[in-house]
Structure formats: C-alpha cells, structure tokens
Amino acid sequence: MSIDKLIKDISDNCSVQLCLLLSFVIVQFKKQKTEGDRTPLRQPLILTWTQFFSQSWAQRIQQELNSCAYHCAVTDDKEQLSEATAVLFHIRDMNELPELRYSKQLFVFVLHESPQYTFNYLDHVAADFFNLTMTYRSKRELYVNELRKYINVTQHGRCSNSICDEECEVHEAAQHRFYLAFENSICRDYITEKLFKSFRRLLVPVVLKNSIYEGILPPESYIAADDFTSPRELAQYLTRLSTNDTAYLRYFEWTKNYEKTFDVSVYCELCKYLHRDNATSHENMDIKKWWFQGCFPDYAEDLLKRGKSATKGG
C-alpha cells in the first residue's frame, strides 16, 4: 500500500480507537537432560498427550497448520510417543503422565489462564517436567481498563467474549489507527504474533515495554506504554497523533525498507520452532519457579502504580 493511499484511507475511515486481541506466548529454555532414544523424523511430530478442556485438539491444531509455511504432523496417539518431537500437555486436563521423556524431545506446558488461577494444577507435576511453555500470563487488562477512561477502546478476544475472525479483523482495521499489542507475558526475546498482525493491517502497534522490542522491530514503528507516565498521558498522545497525519505516517516509514510478514497461528509458530536445528536442545526448567516468579507477570499493573506515584509527586 502506498503512503498516498494510506493517507486517504486514514482520512476517510479511521477514528481514534484501539483494538486488543489476546494470544499465547512461547518461551524456550536451553539444553535438556535426556532419557531414552526418540526415533527421529524428517517432519516434526506434535503429540497432544492430554485433551483440551476434555476435548481432542489434535485435529484443530492440524487444521491451523494447513495454512502454515512449515509442515508438522499432529497426532493424539500415545503409542507414537517415541517418535514425537513435541508433546503437548494442557495443564487443566493432566492426569496420567508419560514415564519418561525421550532424548531431544520437548514436553510443552500449554495454558490459557494466569498463574493465580492455576497453582493447584501443578501440585502433582515435578518442577523439571517441562522444557517449553505456551502460556497466557497478564494483568494487561488493568492497564486497558484505565486507558479506556480517556480514549475509546474496541476489545476483542476471550477476555471480552468477542471473538474476531478474519473478516471482522479486516473491518476493524479499516476503522482504527492503533492496535493494542499488549504482551501477555513480558519476557526477553518474546513477541506475540498479534504484533505482526498489526503490521500486516498497517496499524500502529502499542506495546507495554519498549526494551522488549528495541533492536528487533524497525525503529519508530511502534509506541510503548512505558514511555509515558500514565495511561492518561498515552491516551492524550494517541489522540494528538490521530489528528496529525504527518506525525502519524512517520510510524510507517519502515515500509520503505522492510517487508510485512504474514499471519501465523501459535501452533504454526511452534511448528516453525521445531524445524530449527537446535529446537530440541533444552535443559529442564523449574516450571513452578518460572510460572509463579518469572517474566514480570504484573508489569502492566506496575506501570499503573508508577503513573499514580508520578501524579502524587507532581
């Protein structure tokens, strides 16, 4: 899309609104203790060991992978454990566990919910059982709730009980200028696929923590909430920016030197990861320590507290 076309679309269609969608995070750990020998396959095999909220999910994952640029097979047949590259465990459905993990094999921790609601589900799991995680962790909704006091926010996702499909996303993108790509976990080297969705839709992404993206994303291609003292100050900046086309379009200068990426699902991201040469070179992690203590789980709440402190100080 040309800059001139972008200006016209902005002038004709966009209002000062935001969009929030939720996603998973994949966090990886290095080196792994090994037990047994896994039969290697040219095409990575993903095994769903548990059900997903009491339902089979292998077929759903395979459907998502049909549009993925990387190829992985998916099965729920536990007899293929020795061949599996990654074994997925939905924590709420865990019961009988494998007796061993084969060499160069990933046991993947999968969960939607935040730590405060899931502590008991890990009681019967060894701390070093997992070596890869696909999780949801956040208090970003607190920041969003404060932000919406000062600016209109259109929210989609599980938290709002409003799922937005492809057609819906195209429609919403035409009506908005900014996209709340708030990380569901603040971890180094982790960026959600929803952020790249904002680039594809040519919306300016708003993220929580600037340092996560420095050196990874094009300069001046996003707005970071922690560059502002409060949600109110951020909202004021977004409002000003939405009425100044020249300033707004500076956030799209990157399109002259970079190419946009295509949308991928979290399972496509996992499949892509499994194709890496060192994908299965991991060490066991202390899942309980990581899940309940690591990765700045309350970062959005900390931003709010910082803003309130600055207001009192002022």
CB neighbours of residue 312 within 10 Å:
7
- The pLDDT, as a whole number, for residue 230 is 93
- The pLDDT, as a whole number, for residue 50 is 94
pLDDT surpasses 80 at 228? yes
Q: Which residue has the higher pLDDT, 314 or 203?
A: 203
Q: Which residue has the higher pLDDT, 73 or 118?
A: 73
| Spacing of C-alpha 146 from chain mean position | 22
d(C-alpha 61, C-alpha 39), whole Å: 22
Instruction: Express each pLDDT in 31-54 by its tens digit.
Output: 334 455 555 557 999 999 999 988
Question: Domains in the chain and their CATH numbers?
Answer: 3-22+139-259 (3.40.50.11660), 25-138+267-297 (3.40.50)
Q: Which residue has the higher pLDDT, 290 or 123?
A: 123
- The pLDDT, as a whole number, for residue 154 is 86
Residues 204, 198 contacting (CB under 8 angstroms)? yes
E strand segments, the chain: 17-20, 25-28, 45-48, 73-75, 86-90, 106-111, 132-135, 152-155, 178-180, 204-207, 223-224
d(C-alpha 269, C-alpha 26), whole Å: 8
In the block, which residue shows the tokens 């202390």? 286
Radius of gyration, alpha carbons of the chain: 21
Winning range, highest mean pLDDT, from 73-77, 95-99, 156-160, 198-202: 73-77
Confidence class for position 165, pLDDT limits 50, 70, 90:
confident
Q: Which residue has the higher pLDDT, 10 or 73?
A: 73
pLDDT surpasses 80 at 130? yes
d(C-alpha 128, C-alpha 33), whole Å: 10
Q: Which residue has the higher pLDDT, 295 or 175?
A: 175
Confidence class for position 285, pLDDT limits 50, 70, 90:
low
Confidence class for position 147, pLDDT limits 50, 70, 90:
very high
Stretch 128-146: mean pLDDT, rounded?
75
- The pLDDT, as a whole number, for residue 111 is 76
pLDDT surpasses 80 at 145? yes
Entry pTM: 0.52
d(C-alpha 225, C-alpha 180), whole Å: 10
- The pLDDT, as a whole number, for residue 76 is 97
d(C-alpha 241, C-alpha 176), whole Å: 13
d(C-alpha 11, C-alpha 243), whole Å: 9
Residues 152, 180 contacting (CB under 8 angstroms)? no
- The pLDDT, as a whole number, for residue 299 is 74
- The pLDDT, as a whole number, for residue 308 is 66
Confidence class for position 3, pLDDT limits 50, 70, 90:
very low
Provide the percentage of residues in the chain whose pLDDT is more than 70: 65
129 to each of 33, 179, 221, 276, how far by Cα in Å? Answer: 10, 37, 39, 22
Concatenate the DSSP letters of all residues of 40-61 into one string: --SS-EEEE-S-BTTB--HHHH
Q: Angle at the Cα of 20 (from 17 to 23), degrees rounded to 5?
A: 165
pLDDT surpasses 60 at 294? no
- The pLDDT, as a whole number, for residue 18 is 46
Residues 79, 36 contacting (CB under 8 angstroms)? no
Mean of all residue pLDDT scores within the chain: 76
